[in-house]
Amino acid sequence: MAAEVDTALRFSLDLKSGVPYYKQVILQVEMAIVDGRLENGDQLPTVRSLAVALKINPNTVARAYNELEIRGIVNTQQGTGTFISNKKIELSEVEKERILAELTRPYLSNARAYGFSLEELIKHLQSMAG
Amino acid sequence: MAAEVDTALRFSLDLKSGVPYYKQVILQVEMAIVDGRLENGDQLPTVRSLAVALKINPNTVARAYNELEIRGIVNTQQGTGTFISNKKIELSEVEKERILAELTRPYLSNARAYGFSLEELIKHLQSMAG
DNA sequence: TATATTGTACTAATACTTTAATACAATAAG
DNA sequence: CTTATTGTATTAAAGTATTAGTACAATATA
C-alpha cells in the first residue's frame, strides 16, 4: 500500500502488486458497495479528486469508472459526477450461465485431476456453505 | 472454428475469437477432463502432434501444457509425454481434504460474490459433469 | 549404442495493455 | 452569461503478452 485517499472510502493503491491501477479502483468500488460504504445513489469521488489523491492520471480513474458503467454498477454524467447506479442490476440468464460455467469449469477439472468425485465435491460444498 | 484435431479429443481453435491459442488449449483440456474424454493417467496429444494438427508453434502448445502442470492438472516428462495427473494414489486423506478445501473455497466465494446460490452451483456441477 | 520421440530454451517480431500529458466538452452554480 | 466543476478525447510512451523460428536436451526403444 502506498497512496491513500483521505475520505470515508479510504481508497488506496498497492503500487507493487502488479495489478493495474484502474483494476484496483474497480475492485475497491465493488468492495465499498459490498460492505455498505457506498449505496445506491451515492456519488463516487470525482475523477480529478481521486486522481490527485491516488497520485495517478485522471484518465486512469476515468477508465475504472467507465468499466464500472459498462458493468452497470455506476452512472456517469459529465459536469455532474459518477454515482452508484440506482437501478438493480439483473444479469440475463445467458450471462449468468456463462459466468457460472467459467467459474465451474476450472474448479471441476482441477478437482477431477485430483481424483475427487462429483459426490465428494457436492458434499464438501454443502459443508462449507452450510 | 478453423483448425481441428483428428482425434477422439477433437481439439480445435477459434482463430477469430481473440482468445489466445494457448488459453484455448488449456480450456479444451479442462473441458475434456470435465466431460470424461480425458481421465487420470491419460496421455495428452504430444506437443508436436497437437501443434501440427492445430497449425501452431510447438511452443504455444508447450506453454498451455506448462500452465496446466503449474495448476497440477497434468504431469509432463521429457521424452515420455504429458499425462493427466493421477495424484489420488499419492495423497493422504488429510492432504486430500486440505486440497479440496483450497479448491472449493475460492470457487464458493467467487460464485457467492456473483450472487449464485448453493443450489445453483450444485445443479450446474451436475449438469457439467454429466 | 543409435535413433526416434518427447518436451525445453532462447530469441525476436508483433500486438495489446496500461498509463500519462495535454487539450477539449458538458453541466452546474453564481 | 461567466466561471468553476465534472467527465472525455487524442496521442504517445513504456511495458507486457502472445506467437513463431530455430536449435537444444532428455527419455524411450530397437
CA B59 from chain centre, in angstroms, equals 18
Domain spans of chain B?
A: 3-84, 91-129
| A45: nearest Cα among A2, A74, A14 | A74
Whether the CB of B85 is less than 7 Å away from nucleic strand C comes out as: no
Distance CA A83, CA A74 (A): 5
| Sign (positive or negative) of CA dihedral A129, A100, B23, A70 | negative
Distance CA A96, CA A90 (A): 9
CATH architecture of B3-84: Orthogonal Bundle (1.10)
| Sign (positive or negative) of CA dihedral A67, A72, A75, A78 | positive
Distance CA A93, CA B82 (A): 38
Query: What is the model's pLDDT at position A86?
Result: 66
**Cα angle for residues B108, B83, B127 (degrees, 5° grid):** 35
* DSSP secondary structure letter of residue A1: -
Distance CA A110, CA A112 (A): 5
- Per-residue pLDDT of B80-117, as tens digits, reads 999 998 765 556 788 788 888 878 877 876 777 677 88
- The answer to whether B128 and B34 are in contact (CB under 8 A) is yes
* CA–C1' A95–D13 (A): 37
B34: nearest CA in chain A? A109
Distance CA A41, CA A86 (A): 6
Query: What is the model's pLDDT at position A87?
Result: 57
pLDDT tens digit at each of 130 positions of chain A: 334 444 568 899 998 888 899 999 988 887 787 677 888 899 999 999 999 999 999 999 999 999 999 878 899 999 999 999 865 455 678 778 877 888 888 888 888 877 889 999 999 999 876 6
Query: What is the model's pLDDT at position B7?
Result: 54
Asked if the model's pLDDT at residue B1 lies above 50, the reply is no
Distance CA B13, CA B4 (A): 7
A100/B108 CB distance under 8 A: no
B125/A104 CB distance under 8 A: yes
pLDDT band at B24 (very low <50, low <70, confident <90, very high): very high
Query: What is the model's pLDDT at position A3?
Result: 44
Query: What is the model's pLDDT at position B90?
Result: 57
**Cα angle for residues A22, A78, A41 (degrees, 5° grid):** 75
pLDDT band at B74 (very low <50, low <70, confident <90, very high): very high
Query: What is the model's pLDDT at position B106?
Result: 73
* CA–C1' B116–D7 (A): 34
B38: nearest CA in chain A? A113
B87/A114 CB distance under 8 A: yes
Whether the CB of B79 is less than 7 Å away from nucleic strand C comes out as: yes
Average pLDDT over residues B14-28: 90
Give the number of other CB atoms < 10 A from CB of residue B67: 16
Distance CA A42, CA A21 (A): 22
- The answer to whether B38 and B83 are in contact (CB under 8 A) is no
A90: nearest CA in chain B? B115
Average pLDDT over residues B53-79: 93
Give the percent of chain B with pLDDT over 70. Answer: 86
Collapsed DSSP state (helix, strand, coil) of residue B80: coil
Scan residues 53-82 of chain A and list those with Cβ within 7 Å of strand C: 55-60, 63, 77-80
Residues of chain B whose beta carbon is less than 8 angstroms from a beta carbon of chain A are 27, 29-31, 33-34, 40, 71-74, 84-88, 91, 96, 99-101, 103-105, 107-108, 110-111, 113-114, 116, 118, 120-122, 124-126, 128-129
* ipTM greater than cut 0.85: no
Contacts with B86 from chain A: Cβ below 8 Å: 115
